[in-house]
């Protein structure tokens, strides 16, 4: 930890003070360190040489973390790999013996698997929110966070998308849901919410993969230029012939501007559709019109919490404290607090309506939640999802403490998992035919597979961190220059694409070329 | 038992039964009243698939395994089913039965499987069919002989076996059939009518004024 961030008294309102101007004799490296150590890098008086030094330092930091493999990395990799292997074994065991090795039964036909499905699809919403919404709103501090968030979306979707297949009675026939011409002469049933699910998730994973890939291209080119041999060939292929020409920057900026706006409604629709798996049924406790917005906000909530967990671990693990700073955690913490309140509002809207309605079945479900067998889960959920963030996140001291943020965000995600469990699993326990009330108890294959998905997520992230820069290099560099020029009054920043005089030719580096090119496209 | 034999229903062991994984297509629901022994009162309700006219299980199936037949049956096409179990959730009567494991027929049950009925594999949903194989056979015989199906000609296994004739099966569209006359009774009710599933099964209340 380079800097515990000593904020001035008026810290929240005022822009941070300009960094100390490094003495003349300081090397560019030291100058860069001094600049970067202030959190959000303000470059009011930074010279081009100092900016270049910052660039080099960022490159060096990121590429070094990509190139080296520590003992801790290997240990974590092996551990995660072991857990994933156990999970795969459990899945194989289940496929071989029948879905009955899981704890599902009548009337609770869906158990941990669909809970995990909803949970992971929820996690995947962090990428869209943090990246797309912050991009649309032109929030500058998003820059070092977007890559980690977008990668998270893709990984969470890869995992979440597996669960509908894992939970099938005949998983080897899952492709019968895909609308392709087939020998059965049978089209799938588009009235089924499960079909909507399939299409929504396929759309979302396509869109979010591209959303991750587009801004990755210039960084892939940077990796390409630094690597040799087979790796160079691979990255050359991946970077799609990126040369950093103005035309290429124009297209990247334009593409991202369009795509950013397109991907937001896709994300909202995906979790709405997941919620309609439940909302459109006749099952009491599921049948609810508040579910779509409730699930969307719940997804954003758990997604942001998961992103904060990842950010805390990544900045520590990859030594990126100078780039993913305490200020970022602080701001994300504020967003998390706001979203937790909105989440509780939707929870309460549904809860109150059910309770006041007085339907015998939903009253029984609520009794079970509040005072019955599910009471420990229910109150834990409310405690960690509502009370805990509300009591803690108001304080800057908490928001800027990585340890506290790690604990809070993990607990919130535990709570959100329980929330999904309560909805998915406990509602069907009570139904109109009281002779058929039932319960549910998970068995080891379900638990093993559930744990394995968290390990799989870790594994994917570990692999990604060695293959690709986890910080969007060009976007951070672009941000530094935009920041500097704005402070100098060289340009007005209205959007991602700044208006700037062609005199920006003074700018150097890949990112600066991009800014200038984009500016040209605009004028 | 007749139902198990007729429809090749696999036998679940005690553990599976205790978990609620029995494969009964027709079950007798028992509702005890609050009286003390020995004056214990109990109500029985035999519940099988209600063959809803507007079945909640049908639209949710992504692969058209749960579909309406041309003659109004709510059919389950076994070889289409991939086992999402969504239909089981959306059925208000909870009459759908899932094959959590491959069915077992411990001897000598394996000697008496009905050749007219598919043995269902692991991972698919099944339920009461109104003994569709008997309906189809009767229809084919009637067509060959060029006559309508007689009232009472078709008897599902449960109807055939019930000694006091508590279960009656027939053509509700034929106003002269026995089942139509019974359906028109003032004692008739359908289960969970508030769901508006329009079941084909009509129950007759006990004809007593004291026992509501």
* Residue A160 Cα, gap to closest chain B Cα (Å): 16
Contacts of B81 in chain A (CB under 8 A): 169-170
Question: So what's the pLDDT on residue A520?
Answer: 53
The domain of B87 spans 2-31+41-204
ipTM of the complex: 0.90
Residue A509 has pLDDT above 50, yes or no: no
Contacts of B62 in chain A (CB under 8 A): 177, 188-189, 192, 194-195, 198
Can you tell me the mean pLDDT for A435-450?
92
* CB-based burial, B62-95: b 16+ in 10 Å, e otherwise: bbbbbbeeeeebbbbebebbbbbbbbbbbbbbbb
Percent above pLDDT 90 for chain A: 49
- Mean pLDDT, chain A, integer: 83
Q: What is the token pair recorded at B203?
A: 């129950």
Question: So what's the pLDDT on residue A116?
Answer: 95
Confidence class for position A519, pLDDT limits 50, 70, 90? low
Return the biggest CA–CA distance within chain A: 84
Show Cβ contacts of residue A446 under 8 Å, excluding neighbours closer than 6 positions. Answer: A102, A103, A111, A112, A113
What is the per-residue DSSP string for A181-245? --TT-----TTSHHHHHHHHHHHHHHHHHHHHHGGGHHHHHHHHHH--HHHHHHHHHHTTT----
C-beta atoms surrounding A281 within 10 Å: 20
CB contact under 8 A, B60 and A192: yes
Question: So what's the pLDDT on residue A230?
Answer: 86
pTM: 0.86
How many Å from the N-terminal Cα to the C-terminal Cα in chain A? 43
Around A515, how many Cα atoms within 13 Å sit in the side-chain half-sphere? Answer: 33
Contacts of A281 in chain B (CB under 8 A): 56, 60, 86, 89-90
Residue B26, domain member (yes or no): yes
Contacts of A438 in chain B (CB under 8 A): 20
Question: So what's the pLDDT on residue A36?
Answer: 52
Whole-number Cα distances in Å, B95 to A337, B54, B100, B189: 45, 15, 15, 18
Question: So what's the pLDDT on residue B155?
Answer: 92
Domain total in chain B: 1
Question: So what's the pLDDT on residue A33?
Answer: 57
In chain A, domain spans: 69-181+188-430+452-471
* Residue A345 Cα, gap to closest chain B Cα (Å): 28
Whole-number Cα distances in Å, A214 to A66, A133, A207, A498, A517: 20, 17, 11, 20, 17
Question: So what's the pLDDT on residue A1?
Answer: 40
Residue A22 has pLDDT above 90, yes or no: no
What is the per-residue DSSP string for A18-52? PPPPPPTTS-HHHHHHHHHTTSS---TT--HHHHH
Structure-model confidence comparison of residues A522 and A272, the more confident one: A272
Residue B119, domain member (yes or no): yes
Strands B66-68 and B74-76, by their bridges, are antiparallel
- Residue B147, class by beta-carbon neighbours within 10 Å (0-12 exposed, 13-18 middle, 19+ buried)? exposed
* Residue A80 Cα, gap to closest chain B Cα (Å): 29
Question: So what's the pLDDT on residue A459?
Answer: 94
Residue B13, domain member (yes or no): yes
Residue B36, domain member (yes or no): no
Give tens-digit pLDDT for A240-254. 988 888 888 899 999
Give tens-digit pLDDT for A274-331. 999 999 998 989 999 999 999 999 999 999 999 999 999 988 888 888 888 888 889 8
C-beta atoms surrounding B135 within 10 Å: 19
d(Cα A218, Cα A504) in Å, to the nearest integer? 20
* Residue B115 Cα, gap to closest chain A Cα (Å): 24
Among A93, A117, A170, A172, the strongest candidate for a mutation testing the B interface, having the largest count of B CBs within 10 A, is A170
Question: So what's the pLDDT on residue A32?
Answer: 55
CB contact under 8 A, B63 and A189: yes
Question: So what's the pLDDT on residue A23?
Answer: 46
Question: So what's the pLDDT on residue B142?
Answer: 94
Confidence class for position A523, pLDDT limits 50, 70, 90? very low
Residue B63, domain member (yes or no): yes
Q: Which residues of chain B have pLDDT under 50?
A: 211-212
Least confident residue range of A22-36, A37-51, A124-138: A22-36
Q: What is the token pair recorded at A470?
A: 């986890």
Least confident residue range of A22-31, A221-230, A392-401: A22-31
Q: Could you tell me where the beta strands, DSSP code E, fall in B97-148?
A: 97-98, 125-126
CA A197 to chain centre: 20
Residue B160, domain member (yes or no): yes
Residue B210, domain member (yes or no): no
Question: So what's the pLDDT on residue A168?
Answer: 93
Interface check for B72 against chain A (CB to CB < 8 A): the answer is: no
Question: So what's the pLDDT on residue A492?
Answer: 52
CATH of A69-181+188-430+452-471, one of 1.20.1630.10, 3.90.1150.110, 3.40.50.1370, 3.40.50.300: 1.20.1630.10
């Amino acid at each position: 930890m380079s800097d515990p961030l000593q904020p001035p008294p008026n810290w929240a309102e005022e822009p941070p003070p300009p960094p100390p101007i490094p003495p003349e004799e300081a090397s560019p490296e030291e100058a860069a360190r001094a600049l970067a150590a202030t959190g959000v890098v303000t470059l009011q008086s930074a010279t081009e040489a100092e900016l270049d030094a910052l660039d080099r330092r960022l490159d060096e930091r990121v590429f070094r973390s990509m190139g080296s493999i520590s003992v801790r990395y290997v240990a974590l990799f092996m551990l995660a790999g072991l857990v994933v292997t156990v999970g795969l074994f459990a899945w194989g065991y289940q496929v071989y013996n029948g879905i009955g090795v899981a704890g599902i039964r009548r009337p609770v036909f869906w158990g941990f698997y669909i809970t995990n499905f909803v949970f992971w699809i929820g996690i995947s919403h962090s990428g869209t929110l943090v990246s797309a919404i912050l991009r649309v709103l032109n929030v500058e501090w998003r820059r070092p966070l977007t890559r980690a968030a977008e990668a998270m979306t893709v990984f969470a979707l890869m995992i979440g998308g597996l669960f509908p297949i894992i939970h099938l009675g005949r998983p080897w026939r899952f492709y019968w849901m895909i609308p392709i011409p087939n020998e059965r002469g049978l089209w799938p049933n588009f009235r089924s919410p499960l079909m909507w699910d399939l299409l929504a998730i396929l759309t979302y994973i396509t869109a979010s993969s591209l959303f991750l890939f587009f801004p990755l291209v210039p960084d892939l080119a940077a990796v390409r230029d630094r690597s040799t041999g087979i790796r160079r060939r691979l990255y050359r292929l991946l970077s799609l012939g990126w040369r950093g020409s103005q035309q290429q920057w124009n297209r990247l900026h334009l593409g991202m501007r369009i795509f950013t706006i397109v991907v937001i409604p896709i994300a909202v629709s995906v979790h709405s559709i997941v919620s309609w798996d439940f909302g459109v049924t006749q099952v009491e406790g599921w049948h609810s019109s508040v579910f779509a917005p409730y699930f969307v906000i719940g997804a954003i909530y758990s997604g942001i919490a998961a992103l904060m967990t990842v950010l805390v671990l990544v900045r520590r693990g990859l030594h990126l404290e100078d780039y993913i700073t305490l200020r970022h955690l602080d701001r994300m913490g504020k967003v998390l607090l706001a979203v937790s309140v909105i989440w509780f509002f939707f929870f309460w809207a549904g809860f109150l309506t059910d309770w006041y309605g007085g339907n015998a079945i939903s009253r029984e479900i609520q009794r079970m939640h509040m005072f019955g067998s599910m009471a420990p889960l229910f109150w834990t959920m409310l405690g960690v999802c509502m009370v805990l963030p509300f009591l803690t996140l108001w304080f800057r001291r908490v928001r800027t403490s990585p340890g506290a943020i790690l604990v809070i965000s993990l607990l919130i995600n535990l709570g959100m998992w329980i929330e999904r469990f309560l909805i998915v699993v406990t509602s069907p326990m009570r139904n109109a035919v009281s002779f058929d009330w039932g319960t549910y108890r998970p068995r080891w294959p379900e638990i093993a597979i559930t744990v394995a998905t968290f390990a799989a997520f870790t594994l994917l992230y570990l692999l990604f961190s060695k293959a690709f820069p986890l910080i969007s290099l060009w976007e951070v560099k672009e941000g530094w220059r935009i920041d500097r020029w704005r402070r100098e009054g060289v340009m007005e920043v209205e959007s991602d694409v700044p208006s700037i005089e062609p005199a920006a030719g003074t700018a150097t580096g890949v990112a600066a070329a991009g800014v200038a090119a984009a500016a040209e496209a605009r004028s | 038992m007749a139902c198990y034999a007729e429809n090749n229903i696999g036998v679940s062991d005690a553990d599976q039964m205790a978990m609620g994984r029995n494969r009964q297509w027709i079950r007798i629901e028992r509702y005890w009243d609050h009286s003390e022994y020995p004056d214990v009162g109990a109500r029985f309700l035999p519940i099988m698939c209600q063959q809803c006219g507007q079945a909640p299980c049908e639209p949710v199936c992504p692969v058209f395994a749960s579909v309406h037949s041309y003659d109004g049956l709510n059919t389950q096409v076994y070889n289409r089913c991939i086992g999402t179990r969504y239909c089981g959730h959306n059925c208000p009567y909870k009459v759908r039965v899932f094959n959590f494991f491959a069915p077992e027929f411990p001897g000598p049950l394996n000697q008496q499987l009905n050749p007219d009925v598919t043995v269902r594999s692991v991972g698919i949903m099944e339920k009461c069919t109104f003994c569709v194989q008997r309906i189809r056979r009767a229809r084919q015989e009637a067509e060959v002989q060029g006559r309508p199906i007689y009232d009472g000609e078709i008897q599902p296994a449960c109807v055939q076996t019930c000694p006091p004739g508590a279960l009656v099966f027939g053509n509700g569209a034929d106003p002269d059939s026995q089942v139509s006359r019974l359906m028109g009774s003032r004692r008739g009710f359908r289960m969970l009518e508030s769901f508006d599933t329009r079941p084909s099964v009509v129950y007759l209340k006990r004809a007593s004024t004291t026992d509501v």
